[in-house]
Amino acid sequence: MKTTLDELLAFRTVVDTGSISAAAEQLGQTSSGISRALSRLEQKLHTTLMRRTTRRLELSEEGQLFLARAREILQSVEAAEDELACRHLKPAGKLRVNAASPFILHVLVPLVNDFLAEYPDIELELHSGDSIIDLIEHRADVAVRIGTLRDSTLHARPLTSYRLRLYASPAYLKKAGRPTKVEDLARHALLGFTQPEVLNTWPLRHPDGDGLAITPTIAASSGETVRQLALAGAGIACLSDFMTGPDRARGDLVQVLMRDTLEQRQPVHAVYYRNTELASRIRCFVDFLALRLASA
């Protein structure tokens, strides 16, 4: 391999900060050193990665393609370094984790004993909530977020993804009948969310296109409440796979409109601010989650 990690890091940092001088300051190097690294990289690749003017830097088409690969490589190296560091460290102290109530109940709680057995000196706090919180304001060290991320100021690590499906209880289907096509939902009780509104768009194919915006008959702020309503026979709900495994296995929830359901998955990320003091605790927790959820 002709390209070095230092050159990849210089390239990524220049793009992220917007200038050679800002990248040099962030990396603790000189502007001339960063500039030379970029020139070496372009010479090795026999292409122009970015066009430099007096006012701004602009990525070429080749630069955009190479940037995506550079990010993947650097993230993989950073993850490997973090994983090895955790093996040599004994992280201790309080670790505050925030996640939606259903994710804590159905995913995190079953993993707590194994995590604390591996890291006994960590004092784990699980804070549940069904809205996106400000990590600093709520003194959270790391949060698990489900769905598309919007806050670019956070460091995000992908953990897994879960599929969305439509479910109802056998008791509800016996009472109201089983829908056989999307149009049948108009005569059914639909269980949805008070917010965010995107959760009330169900992954269904229908004559007008993909994705059906529903008006809930009953709306709740928590996914766990929606699940319990579905189990109680109150209507049809759109729920993530991580919440429904045992319910499906026992037959307490039955999937409906299977043929019309799109293959739509919710991404799951661990998000946190870069913080040296807390890095070992955060790093070990995120590595643990990534490993367990990848094999789930």
4-27 per-position pLDDT tens digit: 888 888 888 888 888 888 888 888
- One-letter identity of residue 134: D
Q: What is the pLDDT of residues 89-110, one digit of tens each?
A: 678 888 999 898 999 999 999 9
Burial of 118 (0-12, 13-18, 19+ CB in 10 A): exposed
CATH of domain 163-265: 3.40.190.10
Q: Check if 5-87 and 91-159+267-294 are the same fold.
A: no
The two counts, helices (H) then strands (E), for the chain are 10, 13
| Whether residue 120 has a cis bond before it, omega within 30° of 0 | no
CATH architecture of 5-87: Orthogonal Bundle (1.10)
Q: How far apart are CA 228 and CA 251, in angstroms?
A: 14
Q: How far apart are CA 126 and CA 122, in angstroms?
A: 12
CATH architecture of 91-159+267-294: 3-Layer(aba) Sandwich (3.40)
Q: How far apart are CA 87 and CA 291, in angstroms?
A: 14
Does residue 138 have a pLDDT over 60? no
* pLDDT score for 179: 96
Pick from 242, 296, 249, 199: nearest CA to 99: 242
Q: Are the beta carbons of 240 and 188 closer than 8 angstroms?
A: no
Report which of residues 12 and 276 the model is more confident about.
Answer: 12
What element of type H or E holds 70? helix 61-88
- Length of the chain as a residue count: 296
Residue 269 dihedral angles phi and psi, to the nearest 5°: -125, 150
Q: How far is CA 265 from the centre of its chain?
A: 11
- Average pLDDT score, the chain: 86
b vs e for 18-41, b when ≥16 Cβ sit within 10 Å of the residue's Cβ? eebeebbeebebeeeebbebbebb
* pLDDT score for 136: 45
Q: How far apart are CA 70 and CA 9, in angstroms?
A: 8
Angle between helices 20-27 and 31-45 (to 10 degrees): 110
pTM: 0.67
Q: Which whole-number Å values give the CA distances from 215 to 185, 188, 295, in the listed order?
A: 11, 11, 36
What element of type H or E holds 286? helix 279-294
* pLDDT score for 89: 64
Report, as an integer, the average pLDDT of 132-145.
66
Q: How far apart are CA 18 and CA 7, in angstroms?
A: 16
Domain boundaries, the chain: 5-87, 91-159+267-294, 163-265
* pLDDT score for 228: 97
